[in-house]
Amino acid sequence: MHKSGQTMNGSEIFFECLRREKVDYIFGYPGGALLKVYETLYDVKDIKHILVRHEQGATHMAEGYARATGKPGVVLVTSGPGATNTVTGISNAYMDSSPMVVFTGQVPSTLIGNDAFQEADIVGITRPITKHNFLVKDVKDMALTIRKAFYLATQGRPGPVLVDLPKDVLNSECVFNWPENVEIRGFKPTIKGHENQIRKAAKIIARAKRPLLYIGGGVVAAEAAEELGKLATSQDIPVTMTLQGLGAFPGGSPLNMGMLGMHGTYWANQAINDCDVLIAVGARFDDRVTGKVDTFATHAFKIHNDIDPTNIDKNVKVDLPVVGDSKHFLRTLLESLPKAREDRSPWLRQIETWREQCPLGYSIDEKSLKTEFVIDEVSKQTAGNAVVTTDVGQHQMWTAQYYKFEKPRSIITSGGLGTMGYGLPAAIGAAFGVQDRPVVLFCGDGGFMMNVQELVTAVHYKLPVKIFLINNNFLGMVRQWQELFHQEKYSFTDLQNSNPDFIRVAEAFGCKAMRAANPAEAKQAIDEALAYNEGPVFVEFQVVKKDMVFPMVPAGASISEMLLDRLNPKTMV
Amino acid sequence: MKHTISVLVENKFGTLNRVAAMFSARGFNLESISIGETEDKEISRMTIVTRGDDMIISQILKQLNRLIDTIKVNDLTHKPHIARELLLMTLKLDKSQQREIFELINVFKGKVVDIKQKSITIEVIGSPDKINTAIDLFRPFGIKEIARSGTVALNRGEG
């Protein structure tokens, strides 16, 4: 490590700052504007640079890494097209509140605004999809800006921050000074929730006959799973989670009700409608959760804890807001709970009845394969202990329904933006961060093709990622909506005749590949894949086409109005 | 209803863009926005006039607060405050109406800032209501061009 007070060039300062921020991986791709940085990187030994094959892949990898470890993911790309290729990944991290710092090269500052070769106004382009962004105009500002970028990305509600670095700034020299403390006047997140409000919440919870915890990704980000577990079990409060909240509460617990909302469980959605106190923690009442807002939890006194004040009363009006860190909220709540409380056994029995009325389930036959079976089997074989990434679509919802997540930081999925092509790079990023747990990817045939090039990255770095391709030769979720709501007009969703031979694709990238088309083959392939740790392993599961994700709340309907199965058996394509 | 919000922001490039983009991205109404340096060169004051029900206004205030460049947000609407707007207006100058025009300028405590054979440019400073009234009353003389500054506002001093 270099000392403050030394003269260095911009590129050396860049790496020195990353060192001080304890960065161990950079996901990047070189280019003209960054030549000086890559020249310096050549001799950097303590920070590992991962060469991706597309800048979008770099951003998803950084996010996968961030979500698996809790540390910010770092991206380094060149100017212009390199920078614009990060837009989807940045937007994804913004929607799902993942900490990320993206460094983009920029043309020399004298050329900015001149439509120079490989120039794009990336600060302007990413303004609405970053927590904040910076253009460094002077090498003297670089260390402070990088310090601020990491601070902003990780403090309060996490999010992506972009730092644009012009070529001449990276080349010029100045005396390096590391700012230990950073002060940003306009950024003072409330960490400690209002104690009187929390005490009030504790009293209301103690008197609740039918309380319900509604948990979002904020609990995972705040590392508050332990506090949540204590609250739920000591108070007999059932827990339902959003897609991003899964894993915050153990899947095997009888109090775990699984996911709520559009593809949530029947019993979770019934409970939302019937609960008398709803405790929302680190969740934002997303439209995929609430369905029709006017009919959401109408009988409940609503308590809402979130670190971001804009989430309060944004979608649903709440009765008792507590702005602050979820860990602090839950801990203080636990300390404030009175000894005496209502008996919740009738409530838990009621939930059990709903669970029995409409359980999650699927049929098995020897000859054909269902996605639910594959996910269920992986869940069993990994004992809910894998880090699971997904793409977007049917398999994503089935993963949420059938994988029994036991720990936080176990599901890494594009929730807010719904980015196809997210899963493979996210799995690669997660595999760099987590070595002691299996990393499993469930993806569809549509999404896999969107970032298929990153297979090379997985192969090159010998990452033991389990790539489970669920192939129904269709854009399954779109097909589902086409069947249910668009007169079975399967417009451009059938990939049967245009999908490649996936096994040959995987093998061409140097990946071990297997295929399974029935439950027996699937079981064996999963077994073999989980045992293989020499590098990535690819399994194509050829599943039935016509399968649909149920239960389902149609868009705009109340979450009590669930479709439990196909309304009319229809002719399948 | 109409709200006048005063916002202190970091005086940096792109700040106005961030604020304006937040309004457009979230579909909030933005009636006027004005910005200028304060006594501290690193800080600018922005005055925003917007409309919305209580829920929307509370979201606007929170979303403004959330921007990193925002230092302080103050909704002046229900507090004692001073709001002013500057109007520059060029009118057709007809000799026969000259006296009436000058009388009206006096009523509004306006100023003549430019005068030619066939046109006269005046400035009027006042509350947005006063500016609207002025425009209405000058209209019959024939308005050629108008420029309005948008509202600037400050809360009233204490004591």
pLDDT one-digit tens code per residue, A47-85: 999 999 999 999 999 999 999 999 999 999 999 999 999
Q: Roughly what angle, to the nearest 10 degrees, separates helices A423-433 and A55-69?
A: 50
Taking an 8 Å cut-off on Cβ atoms, the answer to whether B9 and A187 are in contact is no
Question: One-letter amino acid identity for A123?
Answer: V
Q: Which residue has the tokens 């007169």?
A: A487
What pLDDT was estimated at residue A556? 87
Rounded CA-CA distance B98/A381 in Å is 93
A91 CA: distance to closest CA in chain B (Å): 14
Q: Which tokens in the block code for residue A189?
A: 């997140």
List the one residue out of A287, A288, A330 whose CA is nearest residue A305.
A330
Average pLDDT over residues B34-63: 96
Q: Which tokens in the block code for residue A202?
A: 């504790």
B74, B6 contact by CB (below 8 A): yes
C-alpha of A511 from chain center: 25
Indicate if the pLDDT at residue A572 is higher than 80. Answer: no
pTM for this model (two decimals): 0.95
Question: One-letter amino acid identity for B30?
Answer: L
Chains A & B: contacts with CB separation below 8 Å: 39
Region of poorest pLDDT, from A526-530, A558-562, B1-5: A558-562
Q: Which tokens in the block code for residue B48?
A: 């925003």
Indicate if the pLDDT at residue B155 is higher than 90. Answer: yes
Strand locations in A13-155 (E): 25-29, 48-51, 73-77, 100-106, 132-135
A13, A169 contact by CB (below 8 A): no
CA nearest B23 in A: which residue? A128
Q: How does DSSP assign A542-561, residue by residue? A: E--SS----SBPPTTSBTTS
CA nearest B9 in A: which residue? A186
Using a CB-CB cut-off of 8 Å, the residues of chain A touching B14 are 123-124, 127
What pLDDT was estimated at residue A296? 95
Rounded CA-CA distance A524/A496 in Å is 25
Digit-coded pLDDT (tens) for A279-324: 999 999 999 999 999 999 999 999 999 999 999 999 999 999 999 9
List the one residue out of A284, A341, A340 whose CA is nearest residue A316.
A284
Question: One-letter amino acid identity for A22?
Answer: K
List C-alpha distances in Å: A5 to A1, A20, A37, A176, A440. 12, 15, 21, 5, 46
A500 CA: distance to closest CA in chain B (Å): 39
What pLDDT was estimated at residue B24? 95
CA nearest A135 in B: which residue? B13
Q: Which tokens in the block code for residue A497?
A: 């005749």
Question: One-letter amino acid identity for A163?
Answer: V
List the one residue out of A357, A367, A422 whose CA is nearest residue A392.
A422
What pLDDT was estimated at residue A1? 66
Rounded CA-CA distance B132/A58 in Å is 54
Average pLDDT over residues A372-396: 98
Digit-coded pLDDT (tens) for A448-466: 999 999 999 999 999 999 9
What pLDDT was estimated at residue A567? 62
| Beta-ladder partners of A103 | A76, A163
A127 CA: distance to closest CA in chain B (Å): 7
* Element spanning B6, H or E: strand B2-10
Strand locations in A216-272 (E): 239-241, 256-259
Average pLDDT over residues A211-223: 98
Phi-psi region of A304 (alpha: psi -120 to 50; beta: other; left: phi over 0): beta
Digit-coded pLDDT (tens) for A240-249: 999 999 999 9
Average pLDDT over residues B108-119: 96
List C-alpha distances in Å: A396 to A56, A393, A443, A492, B70. 20, 5, 8, 21, 38
A77, A29 contact by CB (below 8 A): yes
What percent of chain A stands above pLDDT 90? 95
- Selected for mutation to probe chain A from B26, B57, B66, B71 (highest A CB count within 10 Å) is B66
Q: Which residue has the tokens 């204490």?
A: B158
Using a CB-CB cut-off of 8 Å, the residues of chain A touching B62 are 309-310, 312
> Over chain A, what is the mean pLDDT?
96
Residue A197 is given by DSSP the state H
Indicate if the pLDDT at residue A137 is higher than 70. Answer: yes
Q: Which residue has the tokens 């792109």?
A: B14
B138, B91 contact by CB (below 8 A): yes
B97 CA: distance to closest CA in chain A (Å): 51
The stretches of B13-149 forming alpha helices (DSSP H) are: 15-25, 54-66, 98-107, 128-138
Taking an 8 Å cut-off on Cβ atoms, the answer to whether A312 and B9 are in contact is no
Rounded CA-CA distance A410/A468 in Å is 16
Q: Which tokens in the block code for residue A448?
A: 């896999």
Rounded CA-CA distance B13/A127 in Å is 12
Q: Which three-class secondary structure state does DSSP give residue A25?
A: strand
A230, A367 contact by CB (below 8 A): no
List the one residue out of A331, A330, A283 whose CA is nearest residue A306.
A283
Active site amino acids of A: 55, 117-118, 167, 477
Confidence of residue A555 (pLDDT cuts 50, 70, 90): confident
Which among B55, B62, B71 has the least Cβ separation from residue A309? B62
Indicate if the pLDDT at residue A568 is higher than 80. Answer: no
Rounded CA-CA distance B124/B126 in Å is 7
What pLDDT was estimated at residue B64? 97
Chain A: residues touching B (Cβ < 8 Å): 123-124, 127-128, 131-132, 152, 184-187, 308-310, 312-314, 317
Taking an 8 Å cut-off on Cβ atoms, the answer to whether B59 and A310 are in contact is yes
Digit-coded pLDDT (tens) for A25-41: 999 999 999 999 999 99
Residue A4 is given by DSSP the state T
A517, A471 contact by CB (below 8 A): no
Indicate if the pLDDT at residue A570 is higher than 80. Answer: no
Average pLDDT over residues A345-352: 98
| Beta-ladder partners of A321 | A304
Q: What is the ipTM of this complex?
A: 0.91
